[in-house]
Amino acid sequence: MPGFEFFGEEERKEVNDVLETGILMRYGFDGPRKGIWKAKELEAAITNTFGCKHAQLVSSGTAALTTAMAALGIGAGDEVIMPAFTFVASFEAILSVGAIPVLVDIDDTLTLSPAAVRAAITPKTKCIMPVHMCGSMADLGALQQICAEHNLLLLEDACQSIGGTYKGQALGTIGDAGTFSFDFVKTITCAEGGVVLTNNHDVYTKCDAYSDHGHDHLGVDRGADLHPFLGYNFRISELHAAVGLAQIRKLDTFLAIQRKNHAYLKAALANIPGITFRRIPDEAGDSCTFLNWFLPTEDIAREVVEDLKANGILAGNFYWFNNNWHYIRKWQHLKSAASLNALSDAQKVALEQLAHNEFAESDRIMGRCISTLINLSWSEDQLQDKAHKLAAVVTRVLESKLEIA
């Protein structure tokens, strides 16, 4: 997945263009910047590459989610349905606009279970936020249907699935808005950065102003801008955008390598009895940043993880069930509402309730799931070695279990 593996001349050249003028800010300074507009250029490249009408760059993927929610009018008292398996940014953004995160089970797509979403809808529900985890998509058809029936917004967190598609459309461009992250470990990186994608001009205009203090960007110069509403500073810098511009030109190369490496690893595991794979609603649209696979039971998964560790090959194999960042089980700070600033009563009640909620269906899936990161820089030898060693560990553990049984 990580674009940083292919950082080189191209990125240096783009950054140097900005350093030559010294105009590190994306707005204003029209004369001294000598025609260098990296953020604007990257936004145009994003709309072209992913086939959407508008793109607003911001300072991070988390800022992109916050900005998108504000622009969609999500705020105090609104409930946003999100999955129990995601990165912490999902609930951070919801809480930051004053809304209430409603966490629900995932299914074997590793993303929102449409049945769990249906069961969680209340009169306060405003938005469904699928997170296209680990390179591949939620069951968007089913979620779109639910949104249409209940008149809800669809906000796609596509931060981990840049380049993935669903029925031919880029992930992130299908809902009312979508987001990518360009942080350092994402498919393409700006070092830090993010973007809101939308086909809705009104949503875009709001994102544009909101992410820059509410400035309407209609004045003859920045000082003359008016403020139709309150905003924050979530701007991206020209230096960051410059890195992203070089990276987006490499995206097709990254995706081709990911698909090739993913197919090789998958083939190595596929003929081991007992191994199954994540369900992918549109197989052709997998961006292949991870190979996501299941062991028959949680016990066996834990033993495989231990064995990978003992053999020094755990790195790059993620057992999210035991991980502090990505799964509800270890989010004590969320479940105890440990916020530095006071939360609203409605938010506090909802978070404290979380500690008592069961996520049995998600536990059953995540307890058995291992995600293997697909690197871009593996040589053929490294890829074959990796596949061979992984398959050997898994086969050994499964065979020992069969003998006992």
Ligand X SMILES: *Cc1c(COP(=O)(O)O)cnc(C)c1O
Residues near ligand X (CB under 6 A) are 60-62, 86-87, 89-90, 131, 157, 159-160, 181, 183, 194
Strands 100-104 and 79-83 come out as parallel
Catalytic annotation present for 186:
yes
CA 164/CA 286 separation, integer angstroms: 5
| DSSP helix/strand/coil, 287 | coil
Closer of 61 and 164 to ligand X (Cβ): 61
In this structure, what token pair is assigned to residue 328?
């509800």
Please, which contacts does 198-203 make with residues 24 or more away whose CB atoms are closer than 8 Å?
A: 198/52, 198/53, 198/54, 198/56, 198/68, 198/71, 199/52, 199/53, 199/54, 199/173, 200/53, 200/54, 200/176, 201/53, 201/54, 203/54, 203/68, 203/71, 203/72, 203/176, 203/177
In the complex, least distance from residue 195 CB atom to ligand X, rounded to whole angstroms: 10
Closer of 104 and 398 to ligand X (Cβ): 104
In the complex, least distance from residue 26 CB atom to ligand X, rounded to whole angstroms: 17
Residue with nearest beta carbon to ligand X: 61
The CA-to-CA distance between both ends of the chain, in Å, stands at 38
In the complex, least distance from residue 161 CB atom to ligand X, rounded to whole angstroms: 8
Specify the DSSP element, H or E, that contains 156.
strand 153-157
In this structure, what token pair is assigned to residue 243?
């890195």
In the complex, least distance from residue 67 CB atom to ligand X, rounded to whole angstroms: 12
In the complex, least distance from residue 183 CB atom to ligand X, rounded to whole angstroms: 4
The one-letter code for the residue type at 15 is: V
Is residue 114 within 8 Å of 121, Cβ to Cβ? no
β strands within 59-152, DSSP E: 79-83, 100-104, 125-128
Strands 369-373 and 290-294 come out as antiparallel
Closer of 157 and 225 to ligand X (Cβ): 157
Rounded to whole angstroms, what are the CA distances from 15 to 7, 36, 202, 210? 12, 11, 32, 26
In the complex, least distance from residue 198 CB atom to ligand X, rounded to whole angstroms: 17
Closer of 62 and 237 to ligand X (Cβ): 62
Q: Residue 7 CA to chain centroid, in angstroms?
A: 21
Closer of 61 and 367 to ligand X (Cβ): 61
In this structure, what token pair is assigned to residue 98?
């004053």
Closer of 66 and 225 to ligand X (Cβ): 66
Closer of 33 and 50 to ligand X (Cβ): 50
Catalytic residue among 34, 38, 167, 186: 186
DSSP character string of 317-372: EE-GGG-TTTBGGG-HHHHTT--SSPPPHHHHHHHHHHTT---HHHHHHHTTEEEE
In the complex, least distance from residue 286 CB atom to ligand X, rounded to whole angstroms: 16
Residues with a known catalytic role: 186
